[in-house]
Amino acid sequence: MSGRLDGKVALITGAGRGIGREIALKLGAEGARLVLNDLDAGPNEEVVAELRGKGIEAVACPGSVTAPDFADRFVGTAVSAFKGIDIIVNNAGYTWDSVIQKMTDEQWYAILDCHLTAPFRILRAAQPVIRHLAKADAEAGQRNVRKVVNISSVAGLFGNAGQANYASAKAGIVGLTQTLAKEWGRMNVTVNCVAFGLIRTRLTSTDASEGASARIEGRDIKIGVNPDLLTMMERTIPLGRGGTPEEAAGAVYLFCIPESDYVSGQTLICSGGLTGI
């Protein structure tokens, strides 16, 4: 039985855990061959091994998406392993919150570098490869629609107190999406965006709210949400709950399948009906 994405080569950042892992599982189950990144090599290799155990072709490309050489290495891994690129999902990210008067330059640039500069660099590095592939398709009389899915947030659309850095970066990724939809349409590439609301991952877990942190880029970043705050947040969601990583992956999947081949430059809100903050 064939999948919707048989033979497609998909590059996914932040794929070792949470939403990124579920995107990898979803696309892989539909036949995609995967180049997976995560900041931490351990989770990166674990998800690759899991996928290979299911008969899915996958390779790891661990490391920080903000490293100056990462984009070329990531794209190069796809070309070396699978000779092409069909889908790019810019998913890697985290939050480092503070009200603006207490936010440092380091906080500001760290989040912009991860959520906006890194996707920009990846797409810039991918352009020559995609251009070459699109030219080869045209010469062969073939039409192959490639896909870019960038990840934004309702914070990027509506703002969110304490997240000037994150909201600005996520607003910027919407602008990048709309611009590349115009630039890359001639290469038969659709460029879309998914803006998540509250999704239940380790970064929003109440289990991690008591002084828990994650080691990110050499910094200990606080993670987790106060249980009372999380309950209050969920009450504002029309569906009455936060989304699951599997549901988040489903929204990304919609932009990867052939049925969305004539949809480009769009932002899909995946928030359980929440349309503001």
Catalytic residues: 166
Q: What is the 3-state secondary structure (H, E, C) of the chain?
A: CCCCCCCCEEEECCCCCHHHHHHHHHHHHCCCEEEECCCCHHHHHHHHHHHHHCCCCEEECCCCCCCCCHHHHHHHHHHHHHCCCCEEEECCCCCCCECHHHCCHHHHHHHHHHHHHHHHHHHHHHHHHHHHHHHHHHHCCCCCCEEEEEEEEHHHHHCCCCEHHHHHHHHHHHHHHHHHHHHHHHHCEEEEEEEECCECCCCCCCCCCCCCEEEECCEEEECCCCHHHHHHHHHCCCCCCCECHHHHHHHHHHCCCHHHCCCCCCEEEECCCCCCC
